Structure 1
């Protein structure tokens, strides 16, 4: 890094930062907005990432669009829990439709072909959608805790409460994603310079960037994750107590096993989505000047975008009523079985979204 700074003199590009030493006195000549970044990795790596982003774009866009379409078509899906699932789908659609598509095109050309302004738009949009997704997962866990564990007694979680929670997720996401547009950090190309996100790397204005990273880690990772762990832990305790009281009930024992498995999948899914990104950002700000492989630095960003695929799989396709309606909409059967159910909304009395 010192060699790079010595070679570059006082040149500090405002729209990007390549955090490795490069054999050039004019870093702007290697701008990720102007030329392929072949000095950062082989063409095969870029094309592999393009293929992965294309998969995430196609599958993520399809499954989240289908989730929204099903809710519009089937009135029985318009329960309070499903409002939050749709909110999650909208956030995922924003990330896959903008973030994954943009990254796919950029990886295909091996540099960010859309320019600095589009980089800021893509970084903001992906961060906004990602933050809404994170807080939606926390809200789902909180809703399950209220409904199953009944900490507020007979309090009923109604659709207007769910809508308020959805507004809450977007409000908090805006608090997290807007600051880089106004000088608290900035949105620049990250990793292999083909997708954009907050500036973890820059050594100039160091304190500004570090404070923003720590804000994101605490406010948008630690708090939602703590909420999810607490709520699902309480849910499992409640279920185990019910199973113990009904030790002879095979259905109760089966429900305990299914929900335990579901909770494990939910927590692991959250960690796979966001732990690499959060951990990498914290490592960078605490190890300024330390070399790292930019190919590995790209992985956390891609995993966070991949959440647009496996979050719906966990929270929507494992929801029986959603699954049956989706099958009916696709002409694969299932809607008749759904119609025959006595409940007109998702059975929120069951533990977990399944």
Structure 2
């Protein structure tokens, strides 16, 4: 951690206004990340038996983002508002270790995901052999890869320390000017945790886009362009572009500023540049859930089903104890029930009148509406006829439903 006093190390070097801004942004990121990643993990857990091998990386990405949220934001938010790091040396080491571990895990996970997508789209003969066991092994490799670089500074290969802006901790980017071993660590970190992942990601998605383009041209020559194949390829293109933008937008600013501090004159790097770059980097925790919940149809469909089931449960519980118009009261005299039945002009084919209760989901939950085709009995004068609901006029359908 160095020999400087705690006061010199942990006092913010940016203005109080910037610190308040960072505290507000971190609070927003924390809430959105907990919500987004929590929903994504819930959906994945509910459909765990049908997860595809490539979706293991989506789940792992959400776990690493959620880990970063839980370990970093509760420490960074109060420190930003108090204009200084509040938690001492050992907690600084813990904060830096977790930030590097979960951050590198997310980046390496995106790299592995792009490689698997490329394998499946561009080389389907081999991609179809990629199984769930292969995905689990690759996920374990992702964590091991990130762990090597996260443990390095703890083993004196590199060094952890306060961020230049003073209210958080990470790798000591100024150490290369004093220590050749620290310089070798940062060089390896830059090559193997930024340049190499960037190269793999862009190469993979370049191959994907070229393959999709060739497949789309072949499809347009033989069948309608509105086929499922074309739609699937369009989805892959959207996902590819979104992942690349997320990778560059979140981590490139921090990588540029860090390399600037490590290998250029350190006094030229303003602390506020590190502060703004850190905000961009931590925004990745909310970006990935949004990408996959929007662009993965099976995740989005599962989320819609979960939401609908939750609404039905809430609606059913709120409607309990409220008598439904369609249910006959067994305590009411038979003559009164018969008189009421005659006065209804439109009723279901099973003898139950239409329900205009306050909650449609409660009516849907009842066993009497489980028939596949709804019919209505229309009374005209002294005669009646039975028709399907779809044959009624729009006004009668509206009243009926």
For the aligned pair, the TM-score class normalised by the smaller chain equals 0.7 to 0.9
Runs (5+) with no aligned partner, structure 1: 1-12, 16-26, 336-354
Which residue, 219, 244, 249 being the options, matches 2:217? 244
Quickly say closer, same or farther: Cα 1:204–1:150, change in 2 above 3 A. Answer: closer
Aligned residue pairs: how many?
A: 308
* Structure 1 position 298 matched with structure 2 position 272: no
Counterparts of 2:138 and 2:127, CA distance in 1: 19
Higher-Rg structure is 2
Which residue, 174, 190, 193 being the options, matches 2:166? 193
Deviations 1:45-78 (A, max 9, x none): 1111001011111111221122222222224542
Which residue, 129, 139, 155 being the options, matches 1:156? 129
Q: What's 1:53 paired with?
A: 26
Q: Cα RMSD over matched residues?
A: 2.3
TM-score by length of 1: 0.80
TM-score by length of 2: 0.71
Q: What's 1:265 paired with?
A: 242
* Structure 1 position 139 matched with structure 2 position 106: no
Quickly say closer, same or farther: Cα 1:204–1:75, change in 2 above 3 A. Answer: closer
Query: Looking at both structures, which has the greater relative contact order when contacts are Cα pairs under 8 Å and sequence separation is at least 6?
Result: 1
Question: Are the equivalent residues in 2 in contact too, given 1:61–1:93 (CA < 8 A)?
Answer: yes
1:41 deviates by 2.4
Counterparts of 1:239 and 1:91, CA distance in 2: 30
Which residue, 247, 253, 257 being the options, matches 1:276? 253
Counterparts of 1:96 and 1:132, CA distance in 2: 13
Quickly say closer, same or farther: Cα 1:267–1:150, change in 2 above 3 A. Answer: same
Counterparts of 1:61 and 1:90, CA distance in 2: 11
Counterparts of 1:140 and 1:203, CA distance in 2: 33
Counterparts of 2:103 and 2:168, CA distance in 1: 14
Runs (5+) with no aligned partner, structure 2: 313-401
Counterparts of 1:74 and 1:258, CA distance in 2: 21
Q: What's 2:2 paired with?
A: 14
* Structure 1 position 313 matched with structure 2 position 286: no
* Structure 1 position 63 matched with structure 2 position 36: yes
Counterparts of 1:30 and 1:98, CA distance in 2: 23
